[in-house]
Chain A
Amino acid sequence: MSIELWTEKYRPRTLDEVVDHEEVISRLKRFVEERNIPHLLFVGPAGVGKTTTILALAQDLYGPGYMNFILELNASDERGINVIREKVKFFARTAPMRSEVPFKILIMDEADSLTAAAQHALRRTMERYTKTCRFCLIGNYSENIIEPIQSRCSVFRFGHLSERDIRERIRYIANCEGVKLLESGLDAILEASRGDLRKAINILQTAAASKGGYVDEDVVFSVLGRVSPKEVRQMLLLSLEGRFLEAREALRRLLLEEGLAGEDILRQIYSQVLRLQIPESWKVRLSEMIGEIDYRLTQGARPEIQLGALLAKLALAGEEMRR
């Protein structure tokens, strides 16, 4: 069956095909030639090709059967470090069979979402299985990875993709798919995706699925309108107007029906709060509170109660402004 999502269909299969990151790629290619890699740590923003790069490396290293030699884990999906350890143990205790490469690769995505304690446990596991297994940890910020892990890995920093590269890639995909992509549409996609190629491709595919038969600025905007949760802004405005109960209902919808993570909602709240028409002094107070809540959420606090407290504060801000 053909691959239906374009992000997947047009994912580069080999290191040669990877867009941008020349520096990183050329270093990785040397590892492939030597048939040996150290533990790797890939850091960088979303949608610039970190996962793609490690998958491509594995393909170059092991050939078409590479899936047998890698294990992909996602730290944010696994239930605790003990589960991760068990999986690693099972995967890593044997060297790969019928391969000239004497180790397997374990890919740990979103590794920076692990707590420090969990990372220390992970570090011990890494050491124990170094002979048969190399780890590739992936995350957004190296600051969130503990020093002992960083020092055991070759760190690769992935920058934002250049506008030119994204433009070219999007045009290429549009061509292959026979999408009539107008220049204004391409500009709008670039503007909205801010260096995130995955997002750019998803916008393109959704826009191309609309009925018009072409993709211009308006089509892209209408896609963006449909995929961005307007509810966050709505919720904040309700609070400011003092309609706390309704705001709380909106919060519940986001958390429970849309299934969004508290951190993701908070990130949007943060960017929205800065744009609200409220006194500067309140922006400071709210930003401080958001920072505190962000930290609490990493400590496992209940998102609804934490964000609910923020909404109550916002209602107070609104009340003071009206006075």
Chain B
Amino acid sequence: MRDEERPWSERFRPRTLREVVDNREALRRFLAWVRSWRGGPPRRRSAFLYGPPGVGKTSAVEAVANDLGFDLIEVNASDYRTAKRIETILGRASSQIRTLFGRRRMILFDEVEGLSGQEDRGGVGAILSLIRGTASPIVLVATGSPEMWEDRLSPLMRVSELIEFRPIPFQDVVERLREICREVGVEAEEEALELIAERSNGDLRSAVNDLEAVARGRGTLTWEDVYWLGDRDRKGEISEVLRGIFSSKSFDEAREVLRESPIRYEELLEWIYENLPYFYDDPQDLAEAMDALSRADIYERRARETQEYRLLKYMFDAMVAEVALARKGSRGRGLIQEVRRALLSLGLPPSDLLIREGREGVIVKPTRWMGKDWQPLNSLLRELGGRWIREEGCWVVPYFRPPGRIRHLRRSWWSRRRLEDLARRVGEKCHVSTRTALREFIPYIRAIFKENRRLGVSIARWLELEEDTIRWLMEG
């Protein structure tokens, strides 16, 4: 298989120790244990590597074997269900130290958490006796949290060097994704990568898989692409409903739009709030519509508070019908004109681009090879919320933007986590609520960090902040 065709999680897997970035402590201990084999078998003849999925356990074994010149014999879960099979496969290998070519061997049992139930008893027993007599290092790898398999695997854990792997820190996942994008030539928005990283919960492999799912074969990757991952249909439905609301001319017409809508009303409220200002350019209309939305918000709370859900209909009236009727002087968005106007500024001949209205947005398709004109075009359309779709060779500028609040939440996820940590610690130490801490203490602490880093750090230590939070404060 050509390199480009392999799955990214394979293609970008670390091959050597230098490429392994995280879990340095686990790696250091594992390396020390492998080196301890130099003078013959050490006291513990097996290492037991465990931790959550996708954090580089198997990669670490492969990289160490590669760097220290071991032949790695990998045994799959299905191969060691029974004692007999293990013996046939490994009997010879484990008792001979070197291969025919004089290289040392290392034996890897991956996915040992899969050993389960009665039939596998033999499996655990066979591995145990193998460990007792082995002349080569044996590495066992288990995925998941120990409570899941501790009781079953404890005989193996007792005799082994235990090495724990931890989730990959958020920032490192982002960094790795960024490297991959650079290598495959995808221009990705930072927030898009952060969203993938956040969803991965420290599982680097799943993050890389997700990245591949949205970015393979494309030139650019936006936050929206990731946000909508696997959810294209809903996007179409929301567009329909919004189009209905923003074009309705009567109360009934607007209410009718909602009747057929499968969308959650809280979500719809956010979408309307986001898109209103683009369609209501008359300040009078905008103020009125926003006022209606703010009342819809209150009506929803009332329904929820009292659990009288019939009250929700007033929320719908305000959110949909009042908003629709508020539009009087506004000209509406006319996205296609907006796009045309913006493109004019580039001074391209009109025949270079086909511009038309599609289902989801305005489609801009080049009629010739754009060459060096592609880049400025792309950034201009990106500003309008558009994106390049490589498969179809065109840009799509959507009529409606997804709620920016969510986007903002994603973008500021990291700093909010840091801020929360800081506020909580200040609250505990200074006897105030986190809200008061945010208002009355944190601005000063941040200012101190800017002025006097040493003092800042000693305050941070006193507050017992997490290392990440201290780093975040230093970066200002």
Point out residues on A near B: beta carbons under 8 Å.
1-5, 7-8, 46-47, 51, 55, 72, 74-77, 109-110, 198-199, 202-203, 205-206, 209-211, 223, 226-229, 242, 244-245, 248-249, 252-253, 256-261, 264, 293, 296, 299-302, 304-306, 308-309, 311-313, 315-316, 318-319
Contact = CB atoms under 8 A, between A and B. Distances in A.
Contacts of A308: 273, 290, 293-294
A285 B297 CA distance: 21
B439 A209 contact: no
Nearest to B294: A309
B99 interface: no
A123 B265 CA distance: 37
B283 A312 contact: yes
B405 A205 contact: no
A179 B84 CA distance: 79
B301 interface: yes
Contacts of A264: 435, 439
Contact of B440 (A72, A199, A304): A199
Nearest to B429: A8
Interface in B437-464: 438-441, 443-444, 446-448, 450-452, 455-456, 458-459, 461-463
A201 to B, nearest CB: 10
6 A-B pairs with the lowest CB-CB distances in the bound complex, closest first = A227-B443, A309-B294, A312-B290, A4-B462, A74-B433, A209-B452
Given A202-B441, A209-B452, A226-B447, A77 B433 contact: yes
A15 to B, nearest CB: 16
B273 A305 contact: yes
B432 interface: yes
A221 to B, nearest CB: 13
A299 B298 contact: yes
Given A256-B409, A257-B416, A299 B435 contact: no
By size class, the interface of chain B is: 35 or more
B358 interface: no
30 contacts: A1-B461, A3-B462, A5-B441, A51-B431, A55-B431, A72-B431, A76-B436, A77-B434, A77-B435, A109-B433, A202-B441, A202-B444, A211-B452, A226-B443, A248-B277, A252-B408, A253-B408, A256-B405, A257-B416, A259-B419, A264-B435, A299-B301, A301-B301, A302-B297, A305-B273, A306-B297, A308-B273, A309-B293, A312-B290, A313-B291
Contacts of A3: 462
B412 A256 contact: yes
A300 B304 CA distance: 11
Contact of A77 (B294, B427, B446): B427
Interface centre among B429, B451, B463 (most CB of A within 10 A): B451
B108 interface: no
Contact of B438 (A1, A55, A242, A260): A260
Interface string B344-373: 000000000000000000000000000000
Contacts of B463: 4-5
B68 interface: no
Interface of B: 269, 273, 277, 283-284, 286-287, 289-291, 293-294, 297-298, 301, 305, 404-405, 408-409, 412, 415-416, 419-420, 423, 427, 429-436, 438-441, 443-444, 446-448, 450-452, 455-456, 458-459, 461-463
B462 A1 contact: yes
A202 B450 CA distance: 15
Contact of A226 (B430, B450, B455, B461): B450
Nearest to B405: A304
Interface centre among A198, A226, A256 (most CB of B within 10 A): A256
Contact of B435 (A47, A227, A261): A261
A299 B404 CA distance: 24
A315 B283 contact: yes
Contacts of A249: 404
Contacts of A242: 283
Nearest to A225: B447
Contact of A244 (B286, B301, B443): B286
A5 B462 contact: yes
Given A4-B459, A256-B405, A300-B301, A305 B293 contact: yes
Interface centre among B283, B293, B443, B459 (most CB of A within 10 A): B283
Contacts of A304: 273, 405
A319 B416 contact: no
Contacts of A210: 451-452
B432 to A, nearest CB: 7
B442 to A, nearest CB: 8
A223 B440 CA distance: 13
A244 B277 contact: yes
B451 A211 contact: yes
A305 B269 CA distance: 9
A31 to B, nearest CB: 21
A110 B433 contact: yes
Nearest to B274: A248
Contacts of B459: 4-5
Contacts of B458: 4
A296 B293 contact: no
